[in-house]
Amino acid sequence: MPITQLRRPASDPRTPHSPAGANPRPPQVIQVHDLVVSYGSTRAVDGIGFEVRAGEVFALLGTNGAGKTTTLDVLEGFRRPAEGSVSVLGADPYREHDRISPRIGVMLQDAGFFEDLSVRATIRAWRRFHRRARSVDDSLELVGLTHRARARVRQLSGGERRRLDLALALLGHPELLFLDEPTTGIDPEGRRHTLRIIRDLVAGGMTVVLTTHYLDEAQELADRLAIMHRGRIQVSGTVDQVLAQHCGSRVRCAIPAEVAEAPEVRAVLHARGAEVQRHAGELRVSFDTSDPQADLLPLLTTAARAGAQARDLTVERRTLEDVFLALAESQEQ
Ligand SMILES: Nc1ncnc2c1ncn2[C@@H]1O[C@H](COP(=O)(O)OP(=O)(O)OP(=O)(O)O)[C@@H](O)[C@H]1O
């Protein structure tokens, strides 16, 4: 199934940007204003702000060391901000940690297990931390580990360990779930399975904040996202907004040189900063555009008038990965 079909339809009442008046916007579950976190002289998070609404998936993306885990630490109540304000489920997550912790689930990058305990015994031990814990059997089934219940933790594959992490994060029936790189180290089939679990949880009303280095995963799951770089949010919005604002489509074709020299075609190629390569008597051109139809029209009509063709024409919608790479490259310059 194409990725776009897996995302929530625009008419879904939990979609954050539903038309005014059609559905009231869901309440804010997380509010972050001007957040700063420092480690000594390193400003790991440097004045960021965002909000997360009930029932949505919010993806925090970014380069290595961008500040994602530090931000999650603050939201989860494990770290106190140096500056700014943070509200999670209407409370200060650091000062009122005990009040909100029964309502949140946290899947860390590495929970740290006792390697000699069985999977079942591990879940049973963690159940004691929750007043209203999911049963061991339900937990195993939820993450697809029933067949590994008797295995020792040290015998689990990397993907199975991540699933055990997820089972523990879900033990207390959380309404807000934090996932720090939930699918790292998992094979494609395991990733599909984990994404399906997350989608089902969100369909059941859970709010999810996740970090991931898999941008296709974020594009598929997230209602809204923020891309961090060196402690700051560089880009944010719905997936569609980010794609529309930061790049549209990539057009590629091969045209005869005389077509490229026509003034109306030169104007388009110049305006779009097209890359042009001469190859075997024709020009291979490629450029980014938010309006492929308008930009292709002069090119195609000029070619038709000259009795020529625009060969190998492709129009490719750019992905979140393209936005991410362009952002990272522009910041390096
Ligand atoms: N305990 C710490 N002490 C000192 N510096 C730290 C500490 N933890 C993180 N940092 C630094 O803070 C910055 C942000 O780190 P953080 O782990 O939040 O980034 P991240 O976006 O989660 O990175 P990654 O994608 O690599 O996991 C980095 O420069 C990192 O080296």
Q: Is 114 in the pocket of ligand 1 (CB under 6 A)?
A: no
Q: Compute the distance from residue 64 Cα to the ligand 1 centre, in Å.
A: 8
Token pair belonging to 53:
């609404």
Q: Is 333 in the pocket of ligand 1 (CB under 6 A)?
A: no
pLDDT at 181 over 70: yes
Q: Compute the distance from residue 108 Cα to the ligand 1 centre, in Å.
A: 14
For each of the domains in the chain, give its residue range(s) and CATH number, in order of start.
24-245 (3.40.50.300), 248-317 (3.30.70.120)
Q: Compute the distance from residue 39 Cα to the ligand 1 centre, in Å.
A: 9
Convert the pLDDT of each residue in 105-160 to its tens digit.
998 766 677 888 999 999 999 998 888 899 999 999 999 999 999 999 999 988 88
Return the residue matching tokens 């040189």. Answer: 257
Please give the backbone phi and psi of residue 312, each rounded to the nearest 5 degrees, phi first. Answer: 50, 40
The CA distance from 312 to 94, in Å, is: 57
Convert the pLDDT of each residue in 66-87 to its tens digit.
999 999 999 999 999 999 999 9
Q: Compute the distance from residue 70 Cα to the ligand 1 centre, in Å.
A: 6
Number of residues in the chain = 333
Mean pLDDT of 20-25: 60
Q: Is 64 in the pocket of ligand 1 (CB under 6 A)?
A: yes
Residues near 32 by beta carbon (within 8 Å), at least 6 away in sequence: 48, 49, 50, 51, 71, 75, 84, 85, 86, 87
Mean pLDDT of 32-42: 94
pLDDT band at 24; cut points 50, 70, 90: confident
The CA distance from 236 to 327, in Å, is: 12
pTM as predicted:
0.78
Q: Compute the distance from residue 162 Cα to the ligand 1 centre, in Å.
A: 21
Which helix H or strand E contains 124, and what residues bound it? helix 119-127
At 309 the pLDDT is: 87
Token pair belonging to 123:
């879940």
11, 16, 19, 22 alpha-carbon torsion, rounded to 10°: 70
Q: Is 212 in the pocket of ligand 1 (CB under 6 A)?
A: no
